[in-house]
Structure formats: structure tokens, C-alpha cells
Amino acid sequence: MSESGAFPRTWIVDAYRAGERTQLRALAEGLGFPFEIKTLRYRKYEMRTNVLRGSDLHGIDPALSDVLVPPWPDLVLSMGMRNEAVCRWIRNQSGGRTRLVYLGRLWADPEQFDLVITTPQYRVPERSNVLRNALPLHGVNPEHLVAAAARWSPRLSHLPRPFIVVNIGGTSGPYAFGKHAARRLARDAVALARSRRASLLVSSSARTPTSAIDAFAAEHEVPMELYRWQRGDPENPYLGFLALADEVIVSADSISMLSEACATGKPVHMFDTGAGKLGMRHDMLAAAGETAKATDGSARGRDRPDLSLGTLAYRALMRWGWKHLTRDISQIHLGLQRGGQAVWLGDPLPANPSAPPRDLKRAVERIHLLMGLNPPCSERSNHAERPIRS
């Protein structure tokens, strides 16, 4: 416990990717502990200390990073390979008292941490201190959705209900997202909207190619609201669209957007950005040990995949390279489909959809147990405490 004895003194050693920062904040707020955010800047040769699994600060630039000085924390939450050595150094400075909770993918063996919270796409070995959640953690919760709905409902009142939201990602790992995927997504989303007599609420993201949003802008068969992503835009309607959605289509390259869509409890359709043998559905069936059904003669069978050297190289790395260097998101798709939380776009919705995974609750309970605390009395902890910036 901290000196006050009320809460564990908690640091977030912050991640360097936006999606990872979202996960860390969701976990910290779910715990309900006051926390400090430690932001680091990295040297160009910082990989050395991670490859050698060090416990030092050689990988960071101390002049540009937040100070790491006593009193040392009781609990550190972090994510990202570059932070591993720093977190181990903090624990060493505390005399081994600090507990390390790490999210996502690791470079080191899980035994070097007190708790690892990961998801199926990462090849983290099974250990007693590994919690394998269904989906990444996120900040979408009922309170945020209610507030976003109240804000955006008047702005979208000119469009007829129901609303089908389309959240678009981009090229990721072994899956390219180019003009062919963009046209298919617009075609299939418009077809679903026509069948539902619905409006489309379409939102792009940082990775979305211009061709994707342009493909929707060229469609005039259904009412539509388009948002082109802008960095740091306070008027980004992403959460408002989710809050008002009756159904959600997500390009299945983005596991974060899939987890946020599933958290709404609305029907979720996964869009396969690939096609044929380069498709996500094909990879998912292969991961499950099943044979992909031929689709020759169907619209799906005639679709062309987008190709890039980067995505083909990633596929080769997944097959023949060191497993630590890649992730297999087909495991997430398989879990969502089998669990009834999502279907592939074009397939019928489940008759009895499953409730959203309770991943945050599981993570919070494990950390309370790790810290010797009583389990929280509700799924979501008190969020009245605000983060303390260093």
C-alpha cells in the first residue's frame, strides 16, 4: 500500500502507441486507484536493452522522459517491449516490492512479471500468472455511451433510423487494405443498409486509406454521414456513432475497434479486408483446423485481394519466423464468431447473441488479488479519482 494506506501507489509507464495507451488508462480507471503517468522518450539503440532482457534505463533519454524517483510505486502498469527493461529497473529500485502488471505481447518470459494480461492473437506462453482475455481492454463503458448519445443525437436527427455504423481501419500485418477492399466494404455496407432501410454512419481512422472513405462518398443509394479522421479532432464522432448504432460494421484488421464495438452490446459485423486465400476468413478456418469452403461463382469468390510486399512479407514471417515478432488476429475472429459476439459481414446474425466479454472485471479482480485487496464490489470501480500527471 501507499504511505496513506488507502490505495496502492500506482504508476503507468506509458505506452508509445495510441491503442496501447487506451488499454492502460482503461485498466487504471477500472481499478479506481489514483495513478501517475510516466511518459518516456527512447534512444535510437533502445532495442539492445530489450533484446538482452535488461533491467536498466539505457534505452530511454532521461532528459526528455519523466523522472523516475522515489517514493517507488506499489504497482506498475505498462505495455510495449521498449518499457520492459524500465519496469524491471523500477522493481529492482524498490527492493523487489513493486508489482509489475504487463499488457499485450512480451519480449521476455512471463515469469519476469507478476501478472500478464494478454489476448489470443499474441503467442504468450501459458503460465499461472498469465490472464488471457477475449479482447483488448478499452474505455467504452455505459456512462460514456450515454453521454455521447446525448451529444450526437441532435446532430444526426436529419437521418432516418436505424443507424448502421461503419468503422474503417487499414492495412495491418498480413492484410492489405487498398482499392479492392474499399470498394467491397462500400458495396456490402450499402447492401446491408438497403436491406434494413437504414442510414450509414461512416468513420475512418488514422490508418484508413483515402480510397476507402472516397468509395463511400461515391455512394448515393442510402442516407449517409461521413467522417474523415483528423488527428486530435475534438469533434470526432466515433464514440457518438457507436452510442447511437443499431448495428456496427468493423473492418476486422482493427482488434481495438472490434472490442469497442462488441462492448456496446449491438450486433457486430466483421468485414474481411482480404479475399480468397489471402482472406481473414480463410486464415481463421485454417487456425481452427477446418477446410475453407470454396466460393467460386459467388460475389465473394470473385473478389480480388489487395497485395503489397509488406503484407506478403508479414505472412512469410508468421509462417517461418520467430513467433514473438508477429500476431495472429485470426484467433480473435475465431473467438468472436464462436462466442456469438460477431459475425462476418454477409452472414446472418446469431439468434441469441452473447453478452460482451467481461474482460475488465477479470483483470481488475486479478490485480486486487495480486495486491492483497478485497475484490471490487461492482464490475466498474469508482472513477472519481483523476490521474496525476508527472
CATH code, domain carrying 181: 3.40.50
CB atoms inside a 10 Å sphere around CB 163: 23
* Residues 27 and 114 both lie in one domain: yes
Enter the C-alpha cell of residue 302: 470473385
Q: Which residues contact 86 (CB under 8 A, 6 or more apart)?
A: 13, 40, 57, 59, 60, 68, 78
What residues make up the domain containing 225?
Answer: 142-344
Q: Which helix (H) or strand (E) holds 79?
A: strand 75-79
CB atoms inside a 10 Å sphere around CB 135: 24
For the whole model, what pTM was predicted?
0.86
Q: Do residues 168 and 185 lie in contact, with contact meaning Cβ atoms separated by under 8 Å?
A: yes
Q: Specify the number of domains making up the chain.
A: 2
Does 2 reside within a domain? no
Does 3 reside within a domain? no
- Written as one letter, the residue type at 151 is R
Q: Do residues 98 and 74 lie in contact, with contact meaning Cβ atoms separated by under 8 Å?
A: yes
Q: Which residues contact 224 (CB under 8 A, 6 or more apart)?
A: 159, 199, 200, 201, 202, 216
- Return d(Cα 84, Cα 92) in angstroms, integer: 13
Does 354 reside within a domain? no
Does 390 reside within a domain? no
Does 316 reside within a domain? yes
pLDDT tens over the chain, length 390 residues: 555 458 999 999 999 888 899 999 999 999 999 999 999 999 876 655 555 567 888 889 999 999 999 999 999 999 998 999 999 999 999 999 999 999 998 888 899 999 999 999 998 889 999 999 999 999 899 999 999 999 999 999 999 999 999 999 999 989 999 999 999 999 999 999 999 999 999 999 999 999 999 999 999 999 999 999 999 899 999 999 999 999 999 999 999 999 999 999 999 999 999 988 899 998 888 877 776 554 433 455 578 889 899 998 988 988 888 777 788 899 999 999 999 999 999 999 988 877 888 999 999 999 999 999 987 765 444 433 334 333
* Residues 51 and 119 both lie in one domain: yes
Does 113 reside within a domain? yes
Return the closest-CA partner of residue 77 out of 24, 117, 113: 24
The alpha-helical segments, DSSP class H, found in the chain are 18-31, 47-51, 84-93, 142-152, 179-196, 210-217, 238-244, 255-263, 280-287, 299-302, 309-320, 330-339, 359-370
